[in-house]
Amino acid sequence: MNVIDALKHRKSVRAFADKAVTADTIHALLDAAKHSPSGTNTQPWQVAVVQGEKKIDLQQKIEQAFRGGDKGKADFDYYPKEWISPFKDRRKECGLLMYSTLDIKREDKERQMDQWAANYRAFDAPVMLLFFMNPIMEKGSFMDYGMFLQSIMLAAEDLGLATCPQASVADYPHIIKPELGYSDDSILLCGIALGYEDKDALINSYRTSRLEVEEFTQFFS
């Protein structure tokens, strides 16, 4: 698969086949992504590959906290404190697409909670990737990390794998860090659910919209 095809084919997958991802495949994926650029070659990424019994134990602890009312607190602010258009409109459209696809009504709070809780199980993918960074790093390293994460997702497409980038798991650093042995002052950025797509799952059938190039670009000559 060429890069442009991978870019257009990639989507956030929220249901995965019951099929393991081999250690060699995960290694090949990260070995490709490590060639991502970073400012002055700092390579700020620190990756935790969580699977098997450790994944089950970790996700149970996070989901239990979520269902118990612990909303968590991420190490950084991912979203704006006050939403304005057009960003809040796109955010609303994204959520409505998923819930309408699954026929989850606004008043059905239990199903909404169940669907959100699936985030903390990495949507039952066989692999949960978690990404950490040294606390001395600044905003530039967040940009570097974005390129690294995209590289992982594009390499996954080439290897026949599916992914879902997840900001949600970053809300529970107080659970994740001690469980995996990362220092309390490290930055937990996000996660990625990794596995093989369940192509029959309804939730994987919708696609979010994208702006046309002319809507976000100005050409100067």
* Range(s) of the domain holding residue 144: 3-204
What is the distance between the alpha carbons of residues 149 and 214, in angstroms, rounded to a whole number?
26
pLDDT of residue 159: 97
- For residue 66, what pLDDT band results from cuts at 50, 70 and 90? very high
Cβ(134)–Cβ(44) below 8 Å: yes
Per the domain annotation, does 217 fall within a domain? Answer: no
How many other CB atoms are found less than 10 A from the CB of residue 10?
Answer: 16
Low-confidence winner among 20-29, 73-82, 95-104 (lowest mean pLDDT)? 95-104
Residues 98-128 pLDDT 10s: 989 989 888 888 999 999 999 999 999 999 9
Residue with tokens 């086949």: 17
pLDDT of residue 204: 95
Per the domain annotation, does 220 fall within a domain? Answer: no
- Total count of domains within the chain: 1
pLDDT of residue 106: 83
Helix locations, the chain, DSSP H: 3-9, 23-33, 52-67, 87-101, 109-117, 139-158, 173-180, 213-216
Cβ(174)–Cβ(66) below 8 Å: no
Residues 49-68 have a mean pLDDT of 97
Per the domain annotation, does 60 fall within a domain? Answer: yes
Q: How far is CA 147 from the centre of its chain?
A: 14
Cβ(72)–Cβ(172) below 8 Å: yes
CA dihedral 22, 26, 29, 35 (to 10 degrees): -150
Residues 140-189 pLDDT 10s: 999 999 999 999 999 999 999 999 999 999 999 999 999 999 999 999 99
Per the domain annotation, does 83 fall within a domain? Answer: yes
Per the domain annotation, does 34 fall within a domain? Answer: yes
Q: What pTM was computed for the model? A: 0.95
Task: Give the residue, 105 or 55, on which the prediction is more confident.
Answer: 55
